[in-house]
């Protein structure tokens, strides 16, 4: 078995010429590489004891198309390479040898995690063209907005030309219709040239149902585990070492060869592994090795709804040592308060103290009973940092699954959208924006697929109706395989110039500028942040070790509120008011106090307009 941090799988062009082909296929007695072209060539491979087959072919070069011919107990089969770097003719077609990517980003050194402001986007709907190249043209806009990290939804090759990306079946091969490996690497390099980190969403808990040929090669799946997508991956059973090697090499490939700054691990709670060393811990070790060799960070960020701090705890505390994790509780708490939705998992939320708790510690549910789950949920995240929790008011899942494709812009009024933006961007956690939310995009974001199998399409449609039956929807989900469903999700970039979109965009820009300029707003120090609820209002206090100090006042009611600040000391100036006319606020809004002062720590009461936020910054030094 090869050392897992060394890239060996797939077709690797050699410096002196030729291509080394390596595939793990213990279920085959013999494997041959079939080179395609005018004169097809069949070259047998040599088998190692663990079922790894290798051969170096001098006649192969970048651009060569090939398949593997497997001779197993079920007869002979032609299959694409499981570690293919390119599938130019789709997931059912041949693989293609590609040259190692060359990226023009040698000066890039990454950015600290606490400075991340993430912008999640779907390549196919982010621009009219739906390509990596088209996304590059939007990077100056994102930088001017104040974004510091771009997160791509999965781009591994999937069936057809439209998909969320979670049905990928060629984990090493970027989708050809997006621009393939070259286009993806150019996008990563362009992000770095703009001063932006780049995150890739990867899926290590399942593969898509169409074009998944991995079982023909090896026991990649285990009947012992079931996920929402079928059998779980075999990370702890017989011959699991080869499965682990495959996915660890995949992570190393994206980080080392393609220069991604971070990987977002989809549904990490569905990565089942009873080994003494969990796959997540091994992935973290691999990421740390890549970071050490390249001299800049390589972060792993887990998606999980278990509220389990072991993902973040260091190994010395029995954890996996990942850099950060998504925390859905913040979204659910804020969404339930703003929309009053109590269906599905929102049944566990709806109190303003839930927003307070999410701001104070990341998790709302840390061991208490959950009505939705009918059991206790979560564990206290003691010792975790604010920058270890990625939070949002919208993301791909919450829009498509929790709101039938409807964005917050179509669920609440403008003032409530602005209030949500302020809570998100003044929080002590890592904020994530979903593409278009910064200007109040009204286009929906539905779930969409492009499978060829009619029975599979119907199964997907029925599955979504079943899985989200506890939510309140006006009607059925949009038909996932209808091309119109996909096209409806395209962003309308012309909205930026229209009211109220332009005013909302101004607010996001100003909030992000303040967050960037003020250490007390971007330090990620949850221990220096304190949220408190006062009736229908929340006060969030942020501090910095250098003396920075801020108060954010959030009014969650339809009437003006006098919000108390009980330990105010010194002088604070108004830095932002979400109800200001420049942000599309009501014309008759009474201007808030420009300065707050208290020399003896006495209570100060501040009038806050309906559904709005005020941000005050200390202006008299430490």
Give me the catalytic one of 167, 303, 415, 544: 303
**How do beta strands 529-534 and 537-543 pair?**
antiparallel
Q: Are strands 375-376 and 95-96 parallel, antiparallel or unpaired?
A: unpaired
Exposure letters 563-578 (e unless 16+ CB within 10 A, then b): bbbeebeeebebbbbb
Residues 451 and 160 sit within 8 Å (Cβ to Cβ)? yes
Which residues are 222's β-sheet partners?
232
In whole angstroms, what is the distance from residue 110 CA to residue 175 CA?
Answer: 26
Alpha-carbon distance of 300 to 302, in angstroms, equals 7
Neighbour tally for 150: CB within 10 Å: 27
**Residue positions counted in the chain:** 622
266 is catalytic: yes
Please choose, from the candidates 608, 547, 525, the residue with its C-alpha nearest in 3D space to the C-alpha of residue 574. 608
* Number of Cβ within a 10 Å radius of residue 101: 16
Residue 465 is a catalytic residue: no
Q: Which of 579, 598, 597, 599 is nearest to 589 (CA)?
A: 579
DSSP annotation of 446 reads -
User: Which is the catalytic residue, given 65, 81, 120, 266?
Assistant: 266
Helix (H) or strand (E) segment spanning residue 607: strand 604-608
| Cross-sheet strand order for the sheet of 52-57 | 10-13, 19-24, 52-57, 46-47
| Residue 418 token pair | 């602005």
Give the 3-state DSSP-derived string for 178-201, with helices as H, strands as E and coil as C: HCHHHHHHHHHHHHHHCCCEEEEE
| Structure tokens belonging to residue 388 | 């270890």
The owner of tokens 């010792």 is: 383
Residue numbers annotated as active site: 266, 303
């Amino acid at each position: 078995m090869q050392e897992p941090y060394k890239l060996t799988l797939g077709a690797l062009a050699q410096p002196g010429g030729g291509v080394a082909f390596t595939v793990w296929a213990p279920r085959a007695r013999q494997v041959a590489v079939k080179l395609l072209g005018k004169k097809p060539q069949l070259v047998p491979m040599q088998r190692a004891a663990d079922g790894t087959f290798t051969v170096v072919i001098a006649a192969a070069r970048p651009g060569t198309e090939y398949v593997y011919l497997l001779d197993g107990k079920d007869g002979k089969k032609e299959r694409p390479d499981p570690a293919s770097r390119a599938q130019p003719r789709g997931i059912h077609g041949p693989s293609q040898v590609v040259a190692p990517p060359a990226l023009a980003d040698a000066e890039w050194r990454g950015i600290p995690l606490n400075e991340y402001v993430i912008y999640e986007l779907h390549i196919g709907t982010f621009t009219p063209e739906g390509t990596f190249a088209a996304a590059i043209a939007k990077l100056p806009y994102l930088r001017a907005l104040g974004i510091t990290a771009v997160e791509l939804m999965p781009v591994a090759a999937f069936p057809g030309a439209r998909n969320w990306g979670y049905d990928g079946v060629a984990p090493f091969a970027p989708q050809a219709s997006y621009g393939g490996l070259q286009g993806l690497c150019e996008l990563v390099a362009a992000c770095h040239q703009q001063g932006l980190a780049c995150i890739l969403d990867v899926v290590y808990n399942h593969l898509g149902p169409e074009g998944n040929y991995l079982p023909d090669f090896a026991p990649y799946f285990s009947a012992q585990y079931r996920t929402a997508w079928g059998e779980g991956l075999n990370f702890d059973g017989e011959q699991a070492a080869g499965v682990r090697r495959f996915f660890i090499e995949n992570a190393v490939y994206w980080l080392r060869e393609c220069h991604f700054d971070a990987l977002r691990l989809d549904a990490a709670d569905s990565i089942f592994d009873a080994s003494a060393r969990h796959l997540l811990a091994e992935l973290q070790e691999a990421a740390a090795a890549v970071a050490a060799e390249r001299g800049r960070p390589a972060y792993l960020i887990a998606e999980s709804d278990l509220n389990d701090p072991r993902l973040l705890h260091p190994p010395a505390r029995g954890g996996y040592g990942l850099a950060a994790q998504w925390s859905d509780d913040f979204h659910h708490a804020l969404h339930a308060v703003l929309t009053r939705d109590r269906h599905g998992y929102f049944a566990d939320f709806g109190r303003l103290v839930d927003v307070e708790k999410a701001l104070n510690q990341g998790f709302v549910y840390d061991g208490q009973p959950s009505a939705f789950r009918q059991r206790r949920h979560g564990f206290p995240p003691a010792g975790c940092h604010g920058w270890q929790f990625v939070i949002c008011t919208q993301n791909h899942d919450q829009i498509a699954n929790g709101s039938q494709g409807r964005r917050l812009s179509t669920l609440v009024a403008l003032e409530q959208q602005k209030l949500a933006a302020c809570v998100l961007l003044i929080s002590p956690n890592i904020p994530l924006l979903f593409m278009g939310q910064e200007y109040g995009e009204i286009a929906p974001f539905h779930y969409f697929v492009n499978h060829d199998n009619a029975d599979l399409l119907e199964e997907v449609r029925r599955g979504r109706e079943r899985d989200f039956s506890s939510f309140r929807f006006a009607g059925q989900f949009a038909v996932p395989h209808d091309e119109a469903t996909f096209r409806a999700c395209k962003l309308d970039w012309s909205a930026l110039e229209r009211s109220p979109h332009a005013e909302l965009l101004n607010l996001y820009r100003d909030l992000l500028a303040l967050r960037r300029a003020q250490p007390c707003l971007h330090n990620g120090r949850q221990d220096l942040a304190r949220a408190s609820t006062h009736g229908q209002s929340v006060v969030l206090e942020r501090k910095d070790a250098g003396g920075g100090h801020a108060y954010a006042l959030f009014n969650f009611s339809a009437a003006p509120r006098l919000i108390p600040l009980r330990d105010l000391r010194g002088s604070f100036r108004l830095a932002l008011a979400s109800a200001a006319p420049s942000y599309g606020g009501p014309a008759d809004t009474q201007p808030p106090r420009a300065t707050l002062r208290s020399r003896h720590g006495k209570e100060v009461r501040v009038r806050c307009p309906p559904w709005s936020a005020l941000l005050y910054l200390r202006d008299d030094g430490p």
